[in-house]
Every structure is written in structure tokens, then in C-alpha cells.
Chain A
């Protein structure tokens, strides 16, 4: 048993009669290297650790955290969580999960090679990436930043109700922001490659992505307003699919603010839309053995051929809804109590290549990046409006670049309007995978 899990169990054992205690502890090491114009700009390395403690007594929940793992700090934190619980509203459904008998899928998310990968090799990788981006096209003026990053994280969770979980994972990435220029105009784009260990990284792909995306936007102009088909590249569709995770939270249904409440079993999207959240897929960035309440992660089918099949639940929202947890408890680190969240959303891929998707749609806008997702997408009303950059396509062929436009619709209409799904599934560093995704019509606002 890991030392971290022993600690979690010891503290959970401090529970008093009549209360349940859950202890979530994390520890991680991370490195980040940034290079600029052939020089190492910064090297950061650090180890951090922390704990989040939940106390439930008489249907009231309190939470407290500490950025330290010594027993004195954990004792104070438990006391604070206990005190906090005294002020919460009591509800019969509030409570920690009990072991649910679902066995964990064995996932190998740890690479020893990363731990032994020398710092000098990380620096060399970042410098190498920068060189490749610069050499990628004569119009690349500068590489705003080329970065190596890695993290090795361990978690352990134990509760006085007998839930026990521990897991560990590694991840690393390289990324670069290319600035391409022609005349007075500059355009930027980033490229990256991610993996669990150094062997997974593809510097060439990262460089090519950054260069090609920046260069193809040179000469971009604001396009005239139009209603037109819109095709999202994988990294953009991953962001959009990620939004569905919150829209399909069972907690929003319970609180009466879900777009899709009362729609179970009904069509909410085009028949091309099948969506699962599957953290047991080791290819997923968000792959995880356990959810953040210590239940074994499982594959959840949310939408099947356009028909809404399920919502996501953690143990509290599930108990309130009279159903079982989908093991979808998620935390934003040790400083936050768990809530409902997706980890590994993926749309079922179609058969078409990205080129075939463009050919099928004929004319429209191919979007390579969006801005303002946090300010322009309302998961309650469904209103969707974001800034976009990309290229027009005509007769299935890529044409002139476009900037300073917005594209707008609603989440509901976009799901209904899915006209094609590409076969180019790409796992990105987020809670969702991306693939080429075509919407039959959106409103583009421009000149």
C-alpha cells in the first residue's frame, strides 16, 4: 500500500461516531521549460501536495483543504471541515458514497521513463521544437514560446465508509506558439503534442501544426455576414464537446436548469451524434481508474444515435435523483469538494476523412480556433456565440482565410444540425476528444 493511501486511511480513521469522513490526498512533481530565440527562458520544477477533507454528519456536508500533508495540518483541516458542516443545510441525500462493487479497470497511466528523463533532455526537446518551427516556413517571424512540460501525480482517497482508492499517472507535452508575418500583419497559432511519456511526443507534428496554422491565416480578413455550414477542426470540436459535459450533468437536471431535463429517451441531436464519457479508455487524456470520490470509473453512454440516454451523476446527486452514481465525481484539485464532471467525452467517429467532410458540405467556414467560450456560451439558455478564425471552403476546397468574425447558434440547434462527423479522432489535453465536426448552418457575423 502506498504511503499516501496509508495517510488517507489514518486520517479517515479519525472520524467520530455519527460522522463520515473522506480524505483525498494528492502529491505531484512537475517541470516546465520555456525557451525563446535559442535561449532557455525559464526552468521551473516543484513538488506539491495537499489534502481535501469532507465531513458529513446528519445530512450536512462540510469541506476544508490544506496545501500540506503533515498530521497537524490535516488535524486542523478535519476540524475545520467538521465546523463547516455545522452550517450546511441538512438533506437526506447528502452523503459520502459507499463501495458499489464495481471493479476498477486496470489502467497503466504511469511511465517510469518520464521520471528518469533528464532535465537536459527536456531543455533539448523544447529547443529542438523551437528550431523546427522556425525552419518550418520563411514567414515564421518568431516563436513566441516553445515549452516542455511534464507532471507525475499520485492520488489516494479513503473514507470511513470503506471506500479506498489510489492511482497515479504521468503526462508530458511540448507546445509552441508560432508568429507568422507578411507585411504589417501577424498571425499566431500553436501546435503541440501530448503523451504519458517522452516516447509519445511527436515534435514534428507539433511544429507542423503551429507553422501551418499560423501561415494559412496570413492575409485573413473579416468576411461578410452569412448563414453557412461550419466545420470545426478536432481541437475546436473537443472544446465544444467538453461543454456538453456540464450540459448533461444530472445536477443541473435536479436543480431544474438543464436544457435537456425530461428529454431522456428523446432525440436531442442528429442521428450522427453518439456520445460517451469513457475514462476507462487509456488513450483518453482524462483516463482514470477512479473518480474523485473513489468509485471505479466506467463507460457511460450519454447520447446514442441522437437519442438522450443518460445524465452524469456523482453520489450525492445520484442519491437525490434516486439513481446510481455514474462515477462522475470530479474535483478541480485538492482545494475543491467534488462535483459532477465528465473526464473523457468522445463522439462516435464517422467514416469520412476531413477532406471528405468538406467535400460533402461544399461551401462554408472551416474553424481552426474559437475565442470567448467562457463569455459567449450559456449552458442554461443554450445561446452560443464565439469569435472564430479559420478558412472559407468552396466546392470542398480550402479558400481564403478569415478573422474577426463570430459564429452563433444554440447548443440545441447545433446538436440537431450535425451534418457529418470525421474519422480523425484526436485525444487532446482536455476532458474530450476532438474530431472533424460539421454543422449544417450557423450564423457568421462579420463585415
Chain B
């Protein structure tokens, strides 16, 4: 969709020009209007019942004014010209701009290639179809075994239309449609209850479900919970860890992704600051952030500052090649083409964020990686993670994992966090498989803002990670 598609534009171009002009009237050097219209629905099935159907709409605009080193920001739910002008004045006053006169802002619309075309808008599909889908998921999970005690399944859809205009002439929009299914199963056994989860989603319309079997996903979640009824306590201490393809992109997201965000770099609160050109990882590692990756969870035509997303190689053959940038940090560093400025909503200031972050394929047969591991842990599914970018220490949870004994995957182990240090773990990756896959849709949280992100990797082995279990 070109941003100028007439009636579809959230705010008319002449209004945008006048609002930007007002924002600059006190002498600021940059102003931006970010408008958003978001609709979303959630249907959840719990305890065999359709318990919750929620839907809603939220729209408004955030206005950013930059004067010197200070950013002023105000947002409003009132998209009328009067509402926008008031917000522009508030943002401008917040930026404490000095004198200066009114400015003319010329806007040049840019048609961006849309990475994720939509065939069927989810909102156009009857609610009954979605409810039926959840009922089928529930039945499938419950049919997996008598020990299944509880099933929670949810369907989520969202449509987010954005429009960004700034005083550098940028005028761009995007129409982001996402659909997602998730299921959580609780099984009950002699040693207490266990949980199993599964999730799938894409930046696309309801046609996502043509290629995604919610019943199979629910059975997989149930099998995970049932299998864990036999799980042993996870080990405690350092050992080799093999991470299954498509399950552990969160490893890179935490081990180095956040540490490569230019805001952390600018403030020197990243262990990767000042290290471009250095060998920061095993030569096997090539890491990419790519917002153009069609239909992936973190796919965007333009970022939330109106700049076209791109494919950025962060680490090439173990050498740090670049960081990720937003407009503010790129400007400070005299760089062009920021592509990673994102925000949760019009009520938030943008900052540097990941899009789809993934490790490229290696050459090893994944089965061989396990066979060549005499003793360790095989992680089939990771949960979330968290990192301190200043120290590089990060944790991530394993929600389906097994012991590796004599090169074979054996007993399941209970949930635990793993802990490691980013720069060390990147060097300790000693073999990478040839079975690349993207993982579950993710939500990345940073300074209280959540944005959708994609993650992926082939099967790989880390020579040593600390497993936070309890086994004696």
C-alpha cells in the first residue's frame, strides 16, 4: 500500500504538513507525526469453554520534536487537526525549543514494497469459524491421553495501520496484519502437574491457518506435557547443550541481539560496544536481522519511523559487522538508513529494536550433532529469556529438554533456566546444523514496550552452558 492511497491515509497530507510546521515553529530541528489505528481480537478457550471474546480499537498519534539533544513527545487519541496541533505544541514545549520561525514541511510519499501481502483479513472471517477452530484444538489435546487435565487455547488477530511523516520529508505507511494461535496443556501425574505449550503465527491474514494445523499443534503441546510427567529434575552445573532447530532463536536474541542495539552501544552499556571488526563469535556464526522477511512475525514494510526495513548482517563468520539503528542513534553517528526504530504504540517513543533475528545454516547433520555429544542436554523448546547488556549475562528457560547420554537423547528433564555470558557463549558454539527453521512468534520487551519479533536458528551445540536445575 502506498502511503498516499487517498482515503486510506489516517491523516491527510496537508494536515500533516501543518502539524509538522507547528511542531517546528519554536525552532526545533526535527519533528515527526506517528499515527496508528489498531484493531485486535482475542478469543480464548479455557476449561472446555469459550470464556473470553475481546475486541477493540485504539487509535491516535504520537508527536516527537527534537531540539538539540532533547526529544519532546506528546500523544493524543484525537486525530483531528485541532487535536494534532495541540499535541504538536505540547511536544514542542517539552523539547524546550528556543526561538525561530514557522517552517514549511514538504512531504514526499514513498511506496514501499510490502513484504507480507494479506489474502483474507482476519476480521472478515466469522467469529464462529474461530470458535470452532479452538474447539477442535481442545478436543485434539484432550484425545491425546487421560492424564490431560486442562487445555487453554487462544486465537489472536490484529491489524495495525500506521502512518509516519517527518520534517525530513518522510511520508510512509504500513498495514500490518497478524494472526496467531497458542495452546497450553496441563497433564497430571503421580509427581504433580506439568505443562506443555505450542504456538504459531504469522504476519499474514487468516490464510495462515490453511498451512497450520491447530489440532496437530494441540496434540504436540499435550504430548510435551505428558512426556514431562516422567521428567527428572534438571541437572545443576555446566555442560554441553544441543539446541534443536527453530526452538532456540531466543539464545541469540539475548546473547547478543540486545547488546547490538545502537542505544546500548551509544551509552557504552553493551559488552559489544567498540568491537565492530573484531571476532566476537565462533567463525561458524553468521547472524542476521531482517525486517523484510516475508510473513515472519517481525516483518514490516517500514519501521515505526517510516524507514524501509532491510536485511542487516550483524555478525559475519564470527566477525561483528554492524549494530542495529534507529533514527536518533543513526543521526548521532552520522549514518544513513536506520531500519530498526520501533515502538509498541502511538503512546510510546521509538527506540532500537530487533525485527526477525536469526542464525544462518551450518553444514552438519543435526542427528550427527547429538551422536557426537557424549553427555549433555538436548533442548527441544526454549521459553523466554532476559539479558543484562552491560555484563552480557543472560538467562533463558527450557520448557522441553532431555538428557543426552552416550550420544543419545534419553530422559526428559523438568523446566529450568540456563545462564550464560553472551560473548563467551558465542565463542563456545562449536557445531551448527543444516536444518534452519524459524521459531514461534515472539514478543520482545524493552523498557516496558513489547513488540512482535521473529527468531530462528538451525540445530547447534554450545560447548558449555550452566543448567539451573536441582538434581544432586
- Using a CB–CB cutoff of 8 Å, the interface residues on chain A facing chain B are 36, 39-50, 52, 61-68, 73, 77, 80, 83-85, 87-89, 91, 119, 141-142, 144-145, 179, 185-188, 222, 225, 227, 254-257, 259, 335-337, 371-372, 374-376, 378, 380-383, 385-387, 389, 403-410, 443-447
Contact A381 B57 (CB under 8 A): no
Contact A372 B395 (CB under 8 A): yes
**Which chain A positions have C-beta within 8 A of B107?**
none
Known: A44-B73, A144-B269, A445-B467. 7 other contacts (CB 8 A): A46-B73, A47-B76, A87-B131, A381-B193, A386-B395, A404-B420, A447-B466
Contact B466 A43 (CB under 8 A): no
Asked if B59 lies at the interface with its beta carbon under 8 angstroms from chain A, I say yes
Closest chain-A Cβ to B154's Cβ sits at a distance in Å of 13
1/0 contact string of B45-80 vs chain A (CB within 8 Å): 011111111111111100000001111111111000
Q: Considering the complex, give the chain A residue whose CB is closest to the CB of B385.
A: A375
Closest chain-A Cβ to B135's Cβ sits at a distance in Å of 10
Contact B54 A84 (CB under 8 A): yes
- Give Cα distance in the complex from A375 to B386, angstroms: 9
Contact B57 A66 (CB under 8 A): yes
Closest chain-A Cβ to B7's Cβ sits at a distance in Å of 19
Contact B347 A255 (CB under 8 A): no
**Which chain B positions have C-beta within 8 A of A376?**
383, 395, 397, 415-417, 468
- Give Cα distance in the complex from A41 to B94, angstroms: 11
Asked if B234 lies at the interface with its beta carbon under 8 angstroms from chain A, I say yes
Given A43-B94, A404-B421, decide whether A372 and B236 contact each other with a Cβ distance below 8 A. Answer: no
Closest chain-A Cβ to B1's Cβ sits at a distance in Å of 23
Contact of B470 among A254, A255, A408 (CB under 8 A): A408
Contact A186 B390 (CB under 8 A): yes
**Which chain A positions have C-beta within 8 A of B186?**
256-257, 380
Given A44-B94, A408-B469, decide whether A256 and B150 contact each other with a Cβ distance below 8 A. Answer: yes
Contact A445 B56 (CB under 8 A): no
Contact of A89 among B50, B193, B467 (CB under 8 A): B50
Q: Considering the complex, give the chain A residue whose CB is closest to the CB of B416.
A: A385
**Which chain B positions have C-beta within 8 A of A404?**
393, 419-421, 466
Contact B195 A84 (CB under 8 A): no
- Cβ contacts A to B, 11 pairs, < 8 Å: A43-B73, A45-B94, A46-B74, A62-B53, A65-B55, A188-B390, A225-B236, A372-B396, A376-B415, A408-B469, A445-B466
- Give Cα distance in the complex from A73 to B59, angstroms: 11
**Which chain A positions have C-beta within 8 A of B383?**
374-376
**Which chain B positions have C-beta within 8 A of A255?**
46-47, 150
Closest chain-A Cβ to B205's Cβ sits at a distance in Å of 20
- Give Cα distance in the complex from A417 to B419, angstroms: 24
Contact A375 B237 (CB under 8 A): no
**Which chain A positions have C-beta within 8 A of B466?**
222, 404-406, 445-447
Q: Is the interface of A mostly helix, strand, loop or mixed?
A: strand
1/0 contact string of B205-239 vs chain A (CB within 8 Å): 00000000000000000000000100000101110
Given A42-B71, A67-B57, A67-B77, decide whether A387 and B469 contact each other with a Cβ distance below 8 A. Answer: no
Asked if B109 lies at the interface with its beta carbon under 8 angstroms from chain A, I say no
Asked if B463 lies at the interface with its beta carbon under 8 angstroms from chain A, I say no
Contact A61 B395 (CB under 8 A): no
Asked if B194 lies at the interface with its beta carbon under 8 angstroms from chain A, I say yes
- Give Cα distance in the complex from A63 to B414, angstroms: 37
Contact A335 B56 (CB under 8 A): yes
Asked if B96 lies at the interface with its beta carbon under 8 angstroms from chain A, I say yes
Contact B90 A45 (CB under 8 A): yes
A36, A52, A64, A186: most-surrounded residue (chain B CB, <10 A): A186
Closest chain-A Cβ to B260's Cβ sits at a distance in Å of 17
**Which chain B positions have C-beta within 8 A of A408?**
234, 236, 416-417, 468-470
Report B435-451 residues with CB < 8 Å from chain A CB. none
Q: Considering the complex, give the chain A residue whose CB is closest to the CB of B469.
A: A408
Contact A445 B237 (CB under 8 A): yes
Contact of B237 among A42, A64, A225, A407 (CB under 8 A): A225
B50, B420, B472: most-surrounded residue (chain A CB, <10 A): B50
**Which chain A positions have C-beta within 8 A of B419?**
387, 404-406, 445
Contact A382 B192 (CB under 8 A): yes
Asked if B95 lies at the interface with its beta carbon under 8 angstroms from chain A, I say yes
**Which chain A positions have C-beta within 8 A of B385?**
372, 375
Q: Considering the complex, give the chain A residue whose CB is closest to the CB of B152.
A: A255
Asked if B85 lies at the interface with its beta carbon under 8 angstroms from chain A, I say no
Contact A87 B43 (CB under 8 A): yes
Contact of B55 among A43, A84, A186, A405 (CB under 8 A): A84
Contact A257 B193 (CB under 8 A): yes
- Give Cα distance in the complex from A406 to B237, angstroms: 9
Contact B56 A378 (CB under 8 A): no
**Which chain B positions have C-beta within 8 A of A119?**
94
1/0 contact string of B394-409 vs chain A (CB within 8 Å): 1111000000000000
Contact of A80 among B55, B59, B131, B415 (CB under 8 A): B55
Closest chain-B Cβ to A96's Cβ sits at a distance in Å of 15
